[in-house]
Structure 1
Amino acid sequence: MSSLLNKLSSSLSNTESEAISKTNNLEKIESYNGESSDSDIQLNTNGAPVEKENPLGNNIEYISLAYLIINGVIGTGIFATPSSILKSIGSVGASYVLWVVGFIIASFKLLVYSEYSTYFKNRSGGDVTYLEQAYPNPPFLVPTTYAAVSVILSFLNSSAVAFGQYILTAADVEVTTWKSRGLAAGVLAFVCIIAALSTKWSIRISDFLGHVKIITLLFIGITGLVVLGGHTSIEDPKANFRNSWEGTTTEPNNIANAIIKVSFSYGGAFYAFATVSELPEHKRFKGYTRVVPAAFFFIFVTYILNVTAYFAGAGSIKEIKSSGSLIASTFFTNVFKTKAATKALNVLVAIAAFSHLIVAVVAHSRALRECGRQGVLPFRDFWVSTKPFGTPIGPIFVIFIVNLVVMIAPPAGDAYNFIVDVGAYSGYIFDFQLAVGLLLLRRQRKKAGLGYQGFRVPLPVLVLQILFQLFVLIMPLVPPKNKNGSLKGSDVSFFYATYCLVVYGLLAACFAYYVVWQFILPKIGGYEHRVETFQLENGELGNRVVSVKVEDLEEWDRTHVAGNKLSTLEPAGTKVEVKDLDEDVIAVDHPINVKY
């Protein structure tokens, strides 16, 4: 094999081609000028291949990247959750602690993402890409599980439903379940159509609405400072800040619920990291290690200002706790005492939900496309193709269908809250795997003789992130201390941990399917799985998992590299005849991801 690689290297041009070297069983691509392309190295060679020329285009710049974070994190959470967080934790002082600690923990997660992005600068998809590379063994287990869970739990409709509710409220129309769901279905369809037609315009709309969202948050924050200064009709704006620790709860389940709500309000960093390869290559390192953290810190500042404004002007502690998701509206009503002001805020909150939905659809479609590129989902072209508009239409269609069903099928109340809880809890499990996976990836890179890519999360930060994720996973399982002794959940009328058990059951089902698919059926059929790379006519690259008879394995392994036969490999830029592949597969100029 080494002589074959040497022969291949000698045939490549010094100026235009790449040489392939093998170091500690790692396929490493280096240019002849000696500059290492470590960001193209994938230790898990069963992973989806690197697309050096991104078929999705490069439609993101620094400002768009910042707004992917801002619009991804700031949905309706900051306008709705401060009341329920205060109700769960009991006091203003403890509430502030949670908002600060929540930011710190969310920042740790952001740093984990940032380090991953430096290793895989040419891969989008976020979690799916990073988990694929961090857990190469057992082969296909993590991709199979994540792909199944991602397709089943692609829930984004909370923003769509919130949009419908706030628009109806602003229009003085009675808010009913089906009216809000009807508007939600319409806005979901509209966003999916825009995302399918043009990534550029989706991003432009996101950027514009991001400006509106920032202005809204700053306006609320500054208004809160004016209230505290005694320049409004609020009689005693500092009343809620006296005895600020009074009422703090020590009940574990309440604390866990409050932490989860804060985490929800800071969630959404994934959306920016799902589009890494769509930022121009020379901007990726700075973008994801500087621009993204700066935007996230700005979000923290606006959150503290907004929470302070609510505590100052939304009424007494009791009134704030009872205001529910309408705390922002209550604040506007108390301060401005006009119906027009409250209507204006409702429209602005609806815009915030709409902008969040845009980036959510864009980001999740990239994640689902990466699941398809790994080769573990059926109908590979449906997931991988970017025809005809340079967008992942297949994944966007799946997002629309899944969210439409989840939006319309379950009745309002318990069933809907249960489904949302299932999606959130599964996300926490993958967050835990990401944090642990970074330690595993570092170990793999060290064994392969590779270092860091200019950014590294401090080990204590990584350990704290792992411990926090364990806490978030364990605390919802702690029985609540209801006065009547029941084990009902806080937002459902049945067993409090049902959603946790459903998630673990879903993961167990995925594992069972994996065992049957990867071990039992091949044993019965006398074959083993192998991976080969295909290329569609728009340049899209992906993997397919093929079944090779045991008696043919030696010949297959000898003759296949990156989905092409070794005998067909030529210098980059040379048209290659590819045989024994599907009709829609075209020539590959040079191997991008070498597999043995």
Structure 2
Amino acid sequence: MFRSTKRAELKEEDGKSVSDVILNRRTGKLRLKRKVGLVSAVSLIAGTMIGSGIFMSPEFVLRNMGSPGGSLTIWAACGLLAMLGALSYAELGTVIKESGGEYIYILRNFGSLPAFLFAYTSVIVVRPASIAGISLSFAEYAVAPFYQSCTASPEVVVKCAAAACVLALAFINCLDVKLATSIMNIFTAAKLTVLVIIVMGGVVLLANGETKNLQNAFQNTVIGFGPVGVAFYQGLWSYDGWNNLNYVTEELKNPEVNLPRAVMIAIPLVTCLYLLVNVSYFAAMTPAELLSSGAVAISWGNKVLGSWAWLIPLAVVLSTFGSANGTFFSGGRMCCVAAREGHMPAILSMAHVRRLTPSPALIFTSTIALILIILGNFSSIVNFFSFTAWLFYGMTIAGLLYLKIKKPNLPRPYKVPIIIPIIVLIASVFLVLAPVIDNPQMEFLYVILFILSGIIVYFPFVYYKHCPDFLSKATLYLQLFLEVAPTDRNIN
């Protein structure tokens, strides 16, 4: 197989020099190219963060907090937490210069079993659930104009549209890295434009005296351990993606500089926009109107834009599609890195010999996302994702604290004060425990049991390296059919 890969490197195919393929001469394995510059890095973070959440979560945040003031406080706190977490991750990414995000950091700091449990949970459920949730949001807005006379779009139509979104993204990301990042840049520009339109509409409303909904803003605010935790979950869903750049470190140009720089540009920009967009929502709608709206942005558009209201559902469709694309882009890389380390089937570690995309991992992720679309709904996907994600975010931040205390002399091109990861770790513990303590549900036990069930898989297949014959044969056939070869690290 490696001989045929080497021959492919020396000839031209489809009018494209295969010198684009980087081959590690020592191992005979492919390397993914560094094609992600600063603009694409900012787009990956901001474009993934700005998705379905800002158009759907305001209702859920307000429902849990009880007041506009409490709701805006949660949005600001979520932005601050995302910023502190991303700065901590930036230091980890410049110390451990490998793709894979939390997986690779947990592996290097705590060993094989914890890293496998993260990969097992993330690859099978968390990442595909995130893609499924965003795709369902895309579908709800995409089909809504065709069912204006109905109170809600037919569920089967929504799920079919979500499945079509997943399949389209799988095709784009398998086809070409540059195409995927170009789409990311274009869609990020489009969604920033629509958020600016909503902000400007809010400015006009406030200038015209529409401030009554923001007076006594903190009246009826709910202050409880559980409601605040759930409100954080819904708000942080809108900020999900703050850590996405760490999943593609090996494809990032000059990561020591561009990783922290992209974080410092993207997250404050998104946080400011989110706060201003929420203020615009409250300027246009009373809390009761906002709570009764199934699609907050569309309700805002109908009240403020008049005959131009159709721009909002179109913009939301573009926004959610772009966000799902960013999640797809990074999620496939994590799956690929886990397989490269022996924690997933070998076929998932491979990349296409000419296109240099991790197509097997992307196909696997899209398949699981399609299954979750059939089985799940938006609210359950958000809650499950948030609980599990912050469990492992906390473990990752604990790894950074370990490195700071035990290995202070490691080369660090970028360094954050130790108080920042401590704050993020405390917040992670709160977000994991708050809903469980306030409102214990069997679902949380099921989540923990699912994570721990990975131990049953780990020992025979990873620790003792048992590989059934049928899996080896399937890997060979899939490798030939998909035209893929093993990948190697690119940390130079």
TM-score band by shorter chain is 0.7 to 0.9
Once residues 479 and 467 of structure 1 are traced to their aligned partners in structure 2, the CA distance between those partners, rounded to angstroms, is 17
Which residue of the partner structure matches residue 296 of structure 2?
Answer: 327
How far is 1:355 from its partner? 0.2
Judging changes above 3 Å, is the alpha-carbon distance between structure 1 residues 444 and 375 closer, same or farther for their aligned structure 2 residues?
A: farther
The 8 Å contact of residues 117 and 454 in structure 2, kept in 1 or not, is answered as: yes
Is 1:453–2:412 an aligned residue pair?
Answer: yes
Are the aligned partners of 1:66 and 1:292 in contact in 2 as well (CA < 8 Å)? Answer: yes
Report the AA paired with residue 212 of structure 2.
A
1:521 Cα shift? 9.7
Cα separation, 2, equivalents of 1:429 and 1:168 = 35
CA drift at 1:129: 1.3
Q: How does 1:192-211 map to 2 (within 5 A)?
A: 192-211=170-189
SS at 2:86 equivalent: helix
2:105 matches 1:105? no
More helix by share: 2
Question: Does 1 or 2 have the higher relative contact order (CA < 8 Å, sep 6+)?
Answer: 2
Q: 2:430 is matched with which residue?
A: 471
User: Identity of paired residues, percent?
Assistant: 21
Unmatched 5+ stretches in structure 1: 1-49, 231-235, 481-495, 523-535, 543-591
Q: Does 1:249 align with 2:211?
A: no
What corresponds to 1:182 in structure 2? 160
Q: Which consecutive residues of structure 2, in runs of 5 or more, have no partner in the other structure?
A: 1-25, 467-482
For 1:539 and 1:504, the matched residues in 2 are separated by 33
Q: Does 1:500 align with 2:472?
A: no
2:194 aligned with 1:216:
yes
- With normalisation by structure 2, the TM-score equals 0.84
Taking the TM superposition and a 5 Å limit, the aligned residue runs for 1:161-180 are 161-172=136-147, 175-180=153-158
Aligned match for 1:126, one of 90, 95, 101: 101
Residue 253 of structure 1 deviates from its aligned partner by 2.0
Write the deviation string for residues 496-553 of structure 1: whole angstroms up to 9, x where unpaired: 523311121012212344456677999xxxxxxxxxxxxx9967227xxxxxxxxxxx
How far the C-alpha of 1:87 sits from its partner, in A, is 1.6
Establish whether residue 358 from structure 1 lines up as the match of residue 334 from structure 2.
no
Aligned residues: 444
Structure 1 residue 53: deviation in Å?
Answer: 9.6
The residue correspondences of 1:107-506 to structure 2 (distance < 5 A) are 107-121=83-97, 123-136=98-111, 140-153=112-125, 154-155=128-129, 156-172=131-147, 175-230=153-208, 237-280=210-253, 283-313=254-284, 315-324=285-294, 326-338=295-307, 341-378=308-345, 380-408=346-374, 410=375, 417-446=379-408, 450-480=409-439, 497-506=441-450
CA distance in 2 between partners of 1:372 and 1:444 (Å): 29
Contact between 2:233 and 2:383, CA under 8 Å: does it hold in 1?
no
Change (3 A) 1:131 1:246: same
Aligned CA-pair RMSD: 2.6
Take 2:363 and 2:379, find their aligned partners in 1: how far apart are those partners? 24
Q: Is the radius of gyration larger for structure 1 or structure 2?
A: 1
1:312 and 1:126 mapped to 2: Cα distance?
A: 39
Normalising by structure 1, report the TM-score: 0.70
1:153-204 superposed Cα distances (whole Å, 9 cap, x missing partner): 1321112111111111134465111101111111110110110011110110
Contact kept in structure 2, 1:70 and 1:210, CA below 8 Å: yes
C-alpha distance in 2 between matches for 1:460 and 1:51:
41
> Does structure 2 retain, via aligned residues, the 8 Å contact 1:85–1:262?
yes
Which amino acid is 1:504 matched to? I
In 1, distance between residues paired with 2:32 and 2:410?
A: 30
**Deviation at 1:403?**
0.7
> Aligned partners of 1:191 and 1:266: how far apart in 2?
21
- Cα 1:212–1:108 change in 2 (3 A) is same
